[in-house]
Amino acid sequence: MARTNQQRAREVIRRLGVVEAWESIGAEVHLVGSLATGLLMRHLDIDYHIYSEPWVPTSGFAVMERLASCPGVRKIEYVNGADTEERCVEWHLGYEDERGDTWQVDLIHMPKGSPYDGYFERMAERIGAVMTPVMREMILRLKYETPDTEKIMGVEYYRAVIEGGVRTYEQLLQWRSLHPVEGVMHWIP
């Protein structure tokens, strides 16, 4: 399932032309999250961090106008976090593929040199470097076993398995109760 969803995600990216759209305004585009780590499972989510210099928070509107014209785009949400700790603008795009499945494409646009510039890219790189085949299988199994009604950030799985030795869904729930997350999780293995 994970391999198939990785392939499907790459096709969604190709059809939307996400990278090309952002690069057309001079932005630097980096894949992060579960697709970057090879741990995309049931939650059909594609995450990008986009950097610009100079950073103009409104420049993303031109990109989103281009993406909105793509067949299958059903929803676009804009969140202005320019005045927050993250110093970013978030775009959340809902895309319906040929199977009728909805993909969430998260496009986080921030200035080069911001506090999170490169942070999640380093996180994905480190996860890939320390994750064993057994850990990978465990993370994918836990993601698969998680009910659709339960919202768990990918990094919570990764930390619980890699750092906490979690092996079952019940252990994951216990781990989360002892390690609650509010806001952005700052963890790199």
Task: Give one DSSP letter per residue of 99-120, joined into a string.
Answer: TS-EEEEEEEEEETTSTTTTHH
Tokens of 144: 């698969």
pTM here is: 0.90
Tokens of 13: 């990216």
Architecture of domain 2-121: 2-Layer Sandwich (3.30)
pLDDT digit of tens for each residue in the chain (189 aa)? 999 999 999 999 999 999 999 999 999 999 999 999 999 999 999 999 999 998 888 899 999 999 999 999 999 999 999 988 888 999 999 999 999 999 999 999 999 988 889 999 999 999 999 999 999 999 999 999 999 899 899 999 999 999 999 999 999 999 999 998 887 778 889
Name the residue among 185, 13, 187, 15 with its Cα closest to residue 86. 185
